[in-house]
Structure 1
Amino acid sequence: MASKVFNVGVVGYGLSAKVFHIPFITTTPSLALHSIVQRSPKPDDSAPADYPALKHYTDALALIADPDVDVVVVTTPPDNHFDLTKRALEAGKHVLTEKPFVPTAAEAQQLADISNKTGKLICVYQNRRWDADFLLAKHLIEQGKLGRVVEFNTHFDRYRADAPTNWKGQLGISRGGSALFDLGTHLIDQAYVLFGLPQSVRGRLLNQREGRAEFETPDAVSAQLFYDSGLLVNVNISALSAETRQLRYWVRGTKGSFRKFNLDPQEDQLRAGGKPTDTGYGVESTNNSSLTAVDEATGKASEVPVPELEPETYRAFYSQFANALVSGKAEDVPVKAEQARDVLRIIEGVLESAKTGKDAVLA
C-alpha cells in the first residue's frame, strides 16, 4: 500500500513561507503543497502567479475549512498565531506554527491541551535546532569533548542601525514581537534543548538604537540562565554590533572550549535562491570554528581539529515532522508545543527580571 501524502495549506506568503517552508514542503515526499493564503497578491508578489496549479485563498478561515487540507502551516505574525492554530486544530487539521509560537506560556499550554483533545498534531517551527553550528556544539557537549560545561555563551548580534518595519520591530512584547521573541526564541530554545529549564533567570532589555531601557520593543537583550549544576548560560542579542566576524558561540568546559563565529549558512543560501536539494546546501567551513582541549597529563590547553559533521539541515526537521504525521504519534513531533511553552516561561522570566531588577525563579 502506498504511503499517505498529506496536503499542506500555507497561511501567509512572506519571507517565512517562501524561504523556510515551501522549499521544504515541496521536497518532502509525503507532503504535497496544496494551497496558499495571500491576502493581497500584487503583480511583483503573487502566490497565484508563482504557483498557478495550486488552490489560492485570500482568507485563512477559507483554507482551514477546505476538507482537502490535512496540514495547516501558520507563517503569519505571532499576534494571530493562537487564533489560527486553535481554529485549525478544532477544524481537524494538523498544524505547524512558526516561531515565536504564541505570546504567552499559558496560550501554548492551551493549544497543547486542544491538540491532545482533538488528536491532531501540533508542531512549532524551531528550525535553528538544525543549524550546523548548533549541532556541532551539541555533538561536542554530548561526546564529552569539553568536559562538564560551566559556561555557554550564545549570541545573535548584528549591525542594523534602522529598526525593522515588519512585526519584528513594530509588535511589542505583549503581542509576541521585539528582539526578545524574534531572536531570543531561537537562542533560548537552543539552550533549553541542551540543558533544560534553568532554576532562575536574570534579564535586561534595551533599545540600543535610542540608548535606553525598553520593556515593550527592545532591540537588544542580555540574559543569564542559572542552573543548579553551576552552569551559566549567557544570552546576548545586539542591534548595533559593528564587527566583521560576529561571535555566535563560546562554550567553556572543564576539559576544553569551543568558539564559533558567524551564522549557519542555510538562511543566506535559501534567500539567494538556493534549494534544500542543492549540492553543498548547509555545508559550512570549520574555518569559522575553533576547538581547544586540555591535555590531561600536562594540564596545558592547545587547539585541536574541529570535527567535520555531515549537516542535517532544515530538511531533517521537515522529514521528522512528516514522519510524525504518518505515525500520528505526538511523541514523534520534532518540536512539541510543551517545549515551546517551557521556552516561553524562560522568556517571561527574562521580562519579569528586566522589570523588577531581580532574578526570576522558574524551578
Structure 2
Amino acid sequence: MDLAQILLAAQPHVPAHYRPGIGIIGSGGIVRGAHLPAYQKYGLNVIGIYDIQPAATQAAQAQWSTLRIFETLDELLDNPDIEVVDIATHPAQRVELIQRALAAGKHVLSQKPFAPDLSTARMLVTEAEQRGLLLAVNQNGRWSPAWRVATLLLQQQAIGSLLAVTHLFETSFAWRPGSPFDLIPHSTTYDYAIHWIDIIRCWLEDYQLSNVRAQEYRTPNQPLESKSDWGMSAEFSYQHGVRAFIHCIGGTETSRQGHPFWLHGTQGTIRGCALGNDFIELERDGVFSRFDLKGSWFPDGFAGAMGELLSAIAEQREPYNSARHNLLTLEMTLAACQSEDADGQPVAFEEVPA
C-alpha cells in the first residue's frame, strides 16, 4: 500500500446503502461538539435525541433543525425508526442505559468506558451476543487521522517489530474544576487517558502484556479546589522487553497543545502528534515519508466509530470497536487505576480484579 492508498484507507467509512435511524441519549458538550458534527458531515440518519435536561436537547436541535426531541427515554427506545442507539452520558448511567437499549432490540454505541468493572462489562457483552445485537464502544481515537495511519503502517510491518510506544500529553485540565469530570475517581486515567491506553492495546495487539504500573499526582499549578489529579504516568510492560509509556502533564501553559507520540521498531520509527498540531511521518532506512493528513480527531474520529458499527451491522460481522474487543482496554485501564491506588506498585496483569 503506497502513501495515497494508506491515506484513503485511513478515512472513516460508512456503508453506502445502509443508513439506519440513530437515536442519541445524552446531549452534553461532546454530543453537540463532536457527535452531531460528525454525523452531519458523513450524512448519517439521526432521528432524535433524549436528555434529562431540556435545555441541552434544545441546544442540539438548534444545530440540527430536523432533530426530534424525545420527551422520555422510553419514547426514544420505542421508536421503530431507530435501529442504533448512541449512548453519550456520564459513566454512572451507562450500564442501565445499555441494558435498556438492548432489551428494546437496538444496536448500541456506548461512550467509553462502557462499564465500571470487568464482570459488568463481560455481562453486557454476553447479553448483547445472546440477543443477536451489536454492542460497540466509542473509542473514536482509533480513527483520529494520525493514529489511524500509524495503525495501518504497523499492520504492514513498516517499522518491523515494535520495541516501544511512547505518548506525551501537552495539555491543560484547567477547564475541569467544577465540572462532573472533576468528580470521577482517577479521571485523568479512567476518562481521558483511556483513549491512549486503547490505542496501545490496538498497536500491541500481538504482544503479551505482563504488568502495569501507574501513578497520578497533583501538578504544582493545580488549584486547591480541583479534586482530580492533573498529572499521571503509566508503563505497560510486555514480554521480551517491549514497553509502552504514557506521560501526562495536565497543567501545561502553551498555545501549542498536542499529544505527540513515537513508535520505535526494529526497522524504523513512526512519529506524530494527535489532537493538536496533528502530523505523522515514517522514517525507514534514512528516508522520511510525511503524510498529508485529512480530517481531524474531532469530528472525524467520531464518524469512524459510528461508521464501523454501521458497517458491521450491514456486513453481519463483529465491529473492530466491539465491546468484546474493548474488554482488554478496560482491563488495562483498571490495572492502571489499581496501581495508582497502590502508589505505583506494579500490577501483574492476571491480578486485575474481574
TM-score after normalising by structure 2: 0.80
Count of matched residue positions in the alignment of Structure 1 and Structure 2: 324
Cα shift at 1:233: 0.2
Q: Which runs of 5+ in 2 are unaligned?
A: 1-15
Q: Tell me the residue number matched to 2:154.
A: 141
Is 1:222 the counterpart of 2:233? The answer is yes
Cα shift at 1:261: 3.8
Q: Is the 8 A contact 2:22 2:46 kept in 1?
A: yes
Q: Is the 8 A contact 2:234 2:246 kept in 1?
A: yes
Secondary structure at the residue paired with 1:66?
Answer: coil
Read off the aligned partner of 2:249 and give its amino acid letter: S
Deviations along 1:117-147, one digit per CA (max 9) or x if unpaired, are 1111111111110111112322343333333
* Larger relative contact order (CA 8 Å, sep ≥ 6): 2
Cα shift at 1:289: 4.5
Q: Tell me the residue number matched to 2:34.
A: 20
Q: Tell me the residue number matched to 1:235.
A: 246
Which moved further from structure 2: 69-78 or 98-107?
98-107
Q: Tell me the residue number matched to 2:11.
A: none
Read off the aligned partner of 1:306 and give its amino acid letter: R
Cα shift at 1:240: 1.5
Cα shift at 1:211: 7.2
**What aligned pairs does 1:68-83 form with structure 2 within 5 A after superposition?**
68-83=81-96
Which moved further from structure 2: 48-57 or 315-324?
48-57
Read off the aligned partner of 1:343 and give its amino acid letter: T
Q: Tell me the residue number matched to 1:252.
A: 264
Is 1:10 the counterpart of 2:24? The answer is yes
- Work out which of the residue numbers 340, 343, 361 in structure 1 matches 2:329: 343
- Work out which of the residue numbers 306, 315, 338 in structure 1 matches 2:290: 306
RMSD: 3.0
Identity in percent: 23
CA distance in 2: counterparts of 1:328 and 1:259, whole angstroms: 35
Read off the aligned partner of 1:326 and give its amino acid letter: A
Q: Is the 8 A contact 1:147 1:253 kept in 2?
A: yes
**What aligned pairs does 1:44-59 form with structure 2 within 5 A after superposition?**
46-59=59-72
Secondary structure at the residue paired with 2:240?
Answer: coil
Which moved further from structure 2: 239-248 or 184-193?
239-248
- Work out which of the residue numbers 124, 129, 137 in structure 2 matches 1:124: 137
Q: Tell me the residue number matched to 1:66.
A: 79
Read off the aligned partner of 1:324 and give its amino acid letter: A
Change (3 A) 1:347 1:57: same
Read off the aligned partner of 2:236 and give its amino acid letter: L
Read off the aligned partner of 1:248 and give its amino acid letter: P
Q: Which runs of 5+ in 1 are unaligned?
A: 266-283, 296-301
Larger Rg: 1
CA distance in 1: counterparts of 2:56 and 2:210, whole angstroms: 52
Is 1:85 the counterpart of 2:69? The answer is no
Change (3 A) 1:25 1:101: same
- Work out which of the residue numbers 305, 313, 327 in structure 2 matches 1:325: 313
Cα shift at 1:260: 2.1
Change (3 A) 1:84 1:233: same
